[in-house]
Structures are given as C-alpha cells and as structure tokens.
Amino acid sequence: MKKRTPLAGACWAGLLPALLWGCGGGSETNTDLTAVDVSKPATGWSLVWSDEFNGPTVDDKKWNFEVNCAGGGNNEKQCYTASTENAFIKEGMLNIVAKKAPEGAEKPYTSARLTTKNKADFKYGRFEMRAKLPAGQGSWPAFWMMPTDSVYGEWPRSGEIDIMEAVNLKTPGAEGKPEAFVHGTLHYGKSAPNNVSSGKAYALPGGKNPADDFHTYAVEWQQGEIRWYVDDYLYATQRQSEVRFNSKQQAVGLKHRGWFAEYYDQITGKLTTFWNTAPFDQKFFLILNQAVGGNWPENVNNKGIDPAAFANGQAYIIDYVRVFQCEANPATGKGCETIRAGYDKADDALVEGKAPIPVPPSDGVARNLTIFDNVVNPSWPGWDCCGGSTPTVVNESGRGGVMEFKVGASPTVNGFISRAEFIKDPAGAPSPFDASPLLDKGSLSFAMKLVSAPNNPGAAWKVKVESNNAATAVELDITASTEGKTPQVGVWQTYTFPLKKLADAGLDLSAIDVVMIFPAWGSGEGAVYHVDDVKIAGASSPELVLFKDQKNLDWPMWDCCGGSTPTEEMDDEAHGMTAEFKIGAAPTVMGFITRAANGGGNKPFDATAILQGGVLRFEMKVVSGTANPATAWKFKVESNNGAEAVELDLTASTEGKAPVTGQWQTYTFKIADLAAKGLDVSAIDVVMVFPAWGEGNGAVYRIDNARFYDPTATPAQGLNLFSDAAAAQWKIWDCCGGSTPTVEDDDAAHGKAAQFVIGAAPTVMGLLADDKVYYDATALLATGVVRFELKVITPPSNPDAQWLFKIEAFDAASAVELKLSDSLEGKKPVTGQWQTYTFKLKDLADKGLDVSAIDVLMVFPSWGMGNGAVYRLDNVAIAAE
C-alpha cells in the first residue's frame, strides 16, 4: 500500500476552492494536520476534512449533537444526549458511551449521536474511521451517512450509506461462537415499509473480534459505485444498476442488478423507477452513534438486552475520522480506486442489489401469460385480500400442484396479484400484463374445483379483473364465462372469458395486474376451492427450427474457421437426416447462422415473446470424440451481429450432462437464463455447439431436432373439419355436380364418414366454410399439418384420373392444388382401403396459401375425369403436429 501525503492547509489556504464544501467553516478549524501521519491505500487521494479528536472536548464546529429519545425509528432503548457522560474526548480519542439511565427516565439507557450535517457535507470521496467497537448483547455502534437534503423524498428514497455497523459483538450466537461480524449496507428504493437494502457482512481474519482492538473502517464512494474496506481490505462493492436494452432499444432487463431510486419525474409528475446513480449522487453527512437495543440486536444472538453489558458504561472509542477527495476527478470521485482482483465479481465482493427488473414497454407483440400452472409464478402470487389466510399450493391426484383458497368469517376476495407490495419472492417483480394485442383472439381461462361450498347456498361466484392499480376493473358472475357453468363440489370445471368481453365491459387490457375468483363479498364463509391452469392466452408462440430432418435454408450449417462444409447425414430410424460437423486441425467453432455474409437468409430470431417459458433445445451425438478426452464441450449463442453473446459449457444445460460418444443426448437452455446472462434475445443470429477452441481436432458430431420454442405455451388447438360430422359453420359440399354428399356408417374404427358421389358433370368436392367464415391457422404454421383419411369405394371410370387435393383461402384469393401422391405419405389411393394423407401447412404457405383465412378443403379426381367415383373422407383436420 502507498503512503498518504496530507494536503496540509488545503481547506483553509484556499488552494482548492472546489473543496470548501467539505471544510465545515473554512479557516475556523483547529485541526493540526502536521501532527498526523496519514497513509493512503491508493494514489490521488487528498485529505479534505478530518477530526483527530486531539482537543479537550468534542469540536462543535465539526459536530452536532442530536438530543432526542426517538433514535432511528428502530424501537431502540436509549435517549441521545449532549452530556459529557455520553460523549467525551479522552487521550486523543472520542468516546461514545452507552449507560444505564437514571430511574424514571423516558428510556432505560442514554447514549450519544453526533452528525456533521451542514458543517461538513460530502459528495464522493473516501470516508475512514479507526475505532474499537463496543461489545455486549444489545450494543449497536455505527459509522454511517445520510443525505443532507432529501432530494428524492422521504427515507430511504434519498438513500443511506452504512459504512460500518455491528451488533452484539462477543455475544455467543446459535452455534456458540462469539458474534464478530461488521456490516456494510445501503438503504434505498421505495418509501417505508416497502424499502429495501443490500449489503455484506465481514469477519476479521484469524478469528479476531472488532471489540478487542482498533481497526480501520472505510468506504470509497464514487459516481455509480461504493466500496467497503476493513483495514484496507476491500470486502464489498455495490453499484448502480445497468439496464439492458434489446435491438429495439427497449429496456428488457439488467446487466447488473444494483441499487435504484423511486421518485417523482419532473417532466411527467409520476412516481417513477430510475436505474441510475440516484440516490447516491447528492451530498451526505457523517454520523457516529451507539444505539442500545432495537429491532436488529434484540432479535439475534441471545436476543434482548443484557443490562450487565451497560452497567459500567459501554464505550465506542474512535481514534479519528478522515475524509479524502480524489484529485483526478472530484466531480465524480473516479480515478483513485483502491481495488483488488475480484472486487467486481459476484462470487467475491460484488453485491447484488434489490432493483426491480424493468418491464419492457408494449411493443404490440401478442404474448401469453401463465399466472398459475402447478407452481407459483413468483410475479403473480396467490392472494387473500382481506381475510387473513395464506393461499397455498397443495398436490391433487391427477393435476399436481393446485392453488388452494379459503374463505373464513371475514369478508374477502381471493386470487392472484402482481403488485409490488404483495410480491415477497425475490425472483418476482411487479409485472402488469399487456393483453391488448390479444384483444380479438385472447381469453382469460382457469380451472376450478370446489372442495367445500360456502355456508350460504345462495352465494354467487364472481370473477374480477383489475388493471393498472385498479384504475379500471370488471366484475362478472362466473356463469358469464363461455362455458356458463356454476361451480360444483368435487368437480373440476374450466371457465373462459374472452378478452374482448372484458374490454367491452370497461377493462384496460394493457396493464392487467389482478385476477380474482371468489364467492360474492360477505357470503363466502366456509368455502374452500382449488384453482389451476390460470392463463391469459391466445397468441401464437414463435418458433424457429434450426434443423429437423433437413436444413433450414435461412439458417445454414456453418463452420466458422476450419474450412469444412457441414453435411446432412442419415442416422438411426428415430432421427433420420441429421446435421453433421467435422473438426480438423484448424481451431474452429460450428453451428447454425443466419447472417447474410455467411450464407444465411438474414432472419434473426426474436424470442422476446417466449422469454419466460421458451427454450433452445437440441439433440446431439458425438460420433467420434476429440483427441483429448478431457476437452469441454461448449454452447454459444450470439445476437445482433455479435453485439451480445453467451457461452456456456454443455453441462450448464438443464440436463447437466456431458456428451457420451455414440449416444444421442438432449440439451436444453432456457431463454430467460440466456437473457439474464446478457443476451439480447430479440435478434438471435448464431447458435454454436463445439469442443473448446483449439481442442476439437478429430471430433465428428451430429445435431438434430434443434429449435427455439416455448414448451409451456398453450398448443394451438387446430380445427377438426370432419369427424362423424362436419365442424360447426362448415359443411360437406359438391361444388358443381348437383349432388348432395351424405354421412354414411363405415367400419368400427371410423364410424360415420362423409361420402361423395361423382356423376357425369365435372365437379370438385370436399368441405366448405359458411359465408364469411375463415379459419386462421397462423398459430400452427411452424409445425401444423392438414391431414385426412380417404377410402375409395368405387374408382372413377377413367383409369387416367389423378387424385388431387386442393385448399383455398379467403374466397379463393389464394389456393394450392397438389396430387395426393405429393403428401408426406406419398401414396396413391387403393380401392377399398382407408389411407392417411398429410400436407405440411408451411409447405402450403410456401406455395402461396394464405393460412390465415382457410375456407375450402377439397379431395377429388381430376376435373372432368371423375365420373363414377364414390369415396369417403374422415378425420379431416388442420392440426398441430
């Protein structure tokens, strides 16, 4: 460590006018700096204020005495006085002594609290104290800072910096070990009681106790960062939060979760969260005090207060207090950092704060929300408004976890809520849901079962949804659901409420934050009920298939640097065609890429809509391993042309497995985890799987079934056009031959089937939607199919007739016609046999079909060649594969 050189006379000689705010009265100080041997941890620090406590009494030009019995609002048991019995100078040191109070006093103990407010106020610097701390159950010494002016509002919105605190030193804890920790803490955020704090405890090396000897306690405070030291060892670092933006410049998360501020925006006038240097960017003053008892010390170690510890006075002895300023940049405090390796690492000194995770503004993307499904969504906990119960998750046979609600004698409403004051799980954050993009197709749905009915048999069951802190709300009878059912004891029932119905009733869909299910207010006593599958849904879930049976031309296989060309190779029956990669002597990484410069289709994948439940999942088989069997296998994903990237071991996957040569293994990585590590998920453009750089020579490996998707998303249901009967608003149809198709009994496996008979008039036949009825299959586009079964009873009289499939959309604005032999099965009809035919929706879309408005599906012999044909269709569906 380097030696500190005091800047003698700087404050009162006027050499640095910018420092005068810290001099507490300029030339009126009596401090003799020439008597001080000051050492400094790093170059560039200049001493701007100090008290060496060399005078006969406490210097009232530097310190104020607080005189009150209020303490810090922590139920402390002392009154602070200005008495020399509680604060005095002895042998060049300040003694703050906590003593038993006289009989009849307002509180049982007296002590002292000294501040520099309006005498020495500081913004940034190094703040240091050398002291020997008091011991005993109930003792609470502190060296800390508070804002001179509460610029951001009441405590702790304007912040608090605790340089050093300790409680109950030398008192045995639960394990019998003497208490020996000191603590460094920040307080910030919302006003009490929703305030938060973050910090770290530190124990001296070698089992030393801070109450046995003098030690130096300090913080270095600069713009955006505060560091804590004991005897010049940096043990804790806290920083302002760093907001992470996606490629659309929307706030989507935090690169670092640190402190935050909540105050009224001067432009909008609204109470707003800020992830910047506030509140630790204003002037603060110093405080020295010793409290007795209070919420913290009385509830740890031996609990309460030990009177014997204070019988003869318990002394907090301070040798000096010094304040230094960074000469390099006094305005920011940067440039004089005393740091060590690990000071900025989460597994070492860096402390994670309590800042809320920013919720991106609505971007018009339709998303689904799972409020409850087997487990609690930490951002949407179960909630009893007013009855005092705690909704709990219980296991139910056949369903797994369900949320149990109870109604007692107190009137209440129960449900799920996403407001800050009700979220206790650290993983949760207020997450009002923007359902406005789902207006036309979305719904709120849930399943419910009564365990016991309300004592009042006439109690009506209600559903209430609120938005934007109850700025708008809609309450409906549960029978207003699409199903229209009344709850029954012992029966699970589903209830669906179209979002349009809620919006028409006055709900603002853009910020839904409460969903309630309850018996009418005041009539629910005795009710116990289970709720599951609570969702707001209707959005198609985006999906990207990187490789499944064939290459994705927009995302080709890629060898970054080795000069090889990955190939498609057949594997076992279960996998079929796979992507094969080979690594030679040249170091390289391999995978899939969509960047145009590398042969891709320049189609980055936006996974924002599946951030919460989405995954990247793939299967991999190592055909031959690397020359070094200890080589680590890696997974890397990049976005936005490499602006962000995350690289992990394959063993960091959900499965946690290392590759085994010759075996197919599945690897799953959660998109939310990748985002938390800094990936911009809105513009993913490279996915790589490879042996560690430079160690892959000889490796041959295959990848299959690689895709981004949301396995938790409600699967698109598709449309069953015919199964025993035509779907509602659809009919079996003869276009032009004048016949009327019929429904006929077939074999036991098929039951009733649609029968078509073609006469002399040329015609096409199949299923037709009613006028202005269209089926939107967009949600099924990635993996959906059109599938049907056909049995030819009598073939056309013309043996050259081809059997065809045709599908149309939006009143024939688009159409695709194919041979039945173009199906995935590739078969021609065989008279008297049921055969299945499947066509991929994506293939139909690629050929020009508008899958958002399908209204005709036809199967028929070639136009004008079908005379005499009799055939049946069954199990006709547009379905998810």
Catalytic residue ranges:
160, 165
DSSP classification of residue 734: E
Rounded to the nearest 5°, which phi and psi values hold at 480? -80, 0
Instruction: Judge whether 639 and 713 are in contact, CB under 8 Å.
Output: no
DSSP classification of residue 500: H
Q: Which run of H or E residues covers position 469?
A: none
Going by C-beta distance under 8 Å and a sequence separation of 6 or more, which residues neighbour residue 141? 96, 131, 133, 134, 164, 165, 166, 289, 290, 291, 316
Compute CA 34 distance to the chain's CA centroid, rounded to the nearest angstrom.
55
C-alpha to C-alpha distance for 725 and 752, rounded to whole angstroms: 7
For 282, the token pair is: 């204003």
**Number of C-beta neighbours around residue 32 at 10 A:** 11
Instruction: Judge whether 431 and 672 are in contact, CB under 8 Å.
Output: no
Instruction: Judge whether 535 and 499 are in contact, CB under 8 Å.
Output: no
CA 778 vs CA 35, 365, 623, 784, 851: distances in Å:
81, 15, 38, 9, 6
C-alpha to C-alpha distance for 537 and 610, rounded to whole angstroms: 12
- Distance between start and end Cα atoms, the chain: 68
Closest CA to 180 of 189, 167, 192: 167
C-alpha to C-alpha distance for 442 and 535, rounded to whole angstroms: 10
Furthest C-alpha separation in the chain = 123
Rounded to the nearest 5°, which phi and psi values hold at 257? -95, 105
Q: What's the burial of 736, exposed, middle or buried (CB within 10 Å: 0-12/13-18/19+)?
A: exposed
CA 550 vs CA 154, 597, 622, 792: distances in Å:
62, 22, 19, 33
Instruction: Judge whether 631 and 726 are in contact, CB under 8 Å.
Output: no
CA 94 vs CA 61, 68, 352: distances in Å:
15, 20, 35
For 487, the token pair is: 């709850």
- SS3 assignment for 821-833: HHCCCCCCCCCCC
Spell 196-217 as b/e; 16+ CB within 10 A means b.
bebbbebebeeeebbbeeebbb
DSSP classification of residue 555: B
Hey, CA dihedral for 17, 22, 25, 31, is it positive or negative?
Answer: negative
Rounded to the nearest 5°, which phi and psi values hold at 656? 70, 25
Instruction: Judge whether 578 and 557 are in contact, CB under 8 Å.
Output: no
Instruction: Judge whether 181 and 157 are in contact, CB under 8 Å.
Output: no
* Number of residues in the chain: 881
